[in-house]
Amino acid sequence: MFARSILRSAVFAAMVVWVALPVAAQGVGGSAVAASGGNRLQQIMASKKLRVCIWPDYYGISLRSPRTQQLAGVDADLALEFGKDLGVAVEFVDSSFARLVNDVTSDQCDVAMFAVGVTPQRAEKLMFARPTLASDIYAITTRSNRRIKGWDDIDKPGVVVAVMKGTLHEPVMRARLKAATLLVVDTPMAREQEVESGRADVFMTDFPYSRRMLETTDWARLVSPTSTYHMTEYAYAVAPGDLKWFNRVEQFVRDIKRDGRLLRAASRYRLESIVVPN
């Protein structure tokens, strides 16, 4: 039931984003997108290298093993597929949600592929392809926390809610919380430590990262919203101003949806329930 609900919401969200993209590409509504010039694709083909921004701590998406230093996850795998389609090598560039816009627009990478949430703030600075995944917001608390029994216990006086700086959860929770206290931290480890220590009651995250907490810790407990709270589409992002490159990224997304590579990659990491199929 959860999977069907996610897919229904995700498909609707994907339609909204896809309809809006041509408008953004014309520089309407605050977008910085320029005309259809640009030669990034030509540069990639000439250098035989595709630079892909990733967040190396994103479980199921682009997680770097501390032991092998190898990346694993839906978008890490699909970045390699994109390189194969282009006939070039892939160079992964470490980034984060806090540095995302600067890294993409300052030519640190050619494309960001780490389940980047499409938000109004980011859409003003970046161009997004059609979404590949979609997730609601979830909360992680401790098994021993007696204050948080369910979702409705979160936004209450005395409750401390942790979010990571630069993530979509920061502006969403800043706007949505009325009674609880918002705590903004710099790293995912910091928000986990705040909750595990009891200094915070919950931290907000998405479906992929919630799986990391449940599968790799013995103290975490998932708190799910009782209905859709804030569904967000995840998409690949590029710098504005080069529609030829944007269209090539779009073509890749269409291809992996049509030929099944997106669903197969998501299934490898048990994230098939959040795939946006069309």
Residue 176, both tokens: 């949505």
Torsion angle in degrees (nearest 10) through CA of 47, 53, 118, 132? 70
64-91 pLDDT per residue, tens:
999 999 999 999 999 999 999 999 999 9
- Residues 57, 53: Cα–Cα separation, whole Å: 12
Chain CA centroid to CA 135, Å: 9
Q: Please check whether residue 73 is in contact with residue 32, taking contact to mean a CB–CB distance below 8 angstroms.
A: no
pLDDT 10s per residue in the chain (278 long)?
333 333 333 333 333 333 334 333 433 223 333 334 579 999 999 999 999 999 999 999 999 999 999 999 999 999 999 999 999 999 999 999 999 999 999 999 999 999 999 999 999 999 999 999 999 999 999 999 999 999 999 999 999 999 999 999 999 999 999 999 999 999 889 999 999 999 999 999 999 999 999 999 999 999 999 999 999 999 999 999 999 999 999 999 999 999 999 999 999 999 999 999 98
Half-sphere exposure of 260 (CA within 13 A, CB side): 2
Chain CA centroid to CA 203, Å: 16
φ and ψ of 187, to 5 deg: -135, 160
| Domains delineated in the chain | 2-134+233-274 (3.40.190.10), 137-223 (3.40.190.10)
Instruction: Please report, as a single letter, which amino acid is at residue 151.
Output: W
- Residues 47, 102: Cα–Cα separation, whole Å: 22
DSSP, res 172: H
3-state SS assignment for residue 222: strand
Angle at which helices 243-258 and 74-86 cross, to 10°? 110
Burial of 1 (0-12, 13-18, 19+ CB in 10 A): exposed
